[in-house]
Amino acid sequence: MPFAQIYLIEGRTTEQKRAVIEKVTQALTEAVGAPKENVRVWITEVPKENWGIAGVSAKDLGR
């Protein structure tokens, strides 16, 4: 059973997260031949102040 864990900076819409789940499921199905019913996708949203880029939080960078 393929399991994909995706970390995203908070702020994506429900539609965007649905698209991620759909496309990751499709990619795993094609890449490893797993039935899509067996694919699991877990999205973890991280607050912008907890995501660092080059030593600065994403919030401070205006992301």
3-state secondary structure of 40: strand
How far is residue 11 from each of residues 3, 14, 57, measured CA to CA in Å? 23, 9, 15
Name the pTM for this structure: 0.87
User: What does the alpha-carbon distance between residue 34 and residue 36 come to, in Å, rounded to a whole number?
Assistant: 6
Q: Which helix (H) or strand (E) holds 3?
A: strand 3-9
The whole domain housing 15 covers: 3-61
Residues marked as catalytic: 2
pLDDT in tens, 1-60: 999 999 999 999 999 999 999 999 999 999 999 999 999 999 999 999 999 999 999 999
Number of domains comprising the chain: 1
Task: Indicate which CATH number applies to the domain containing 32.
Answer: 3.30.429.10
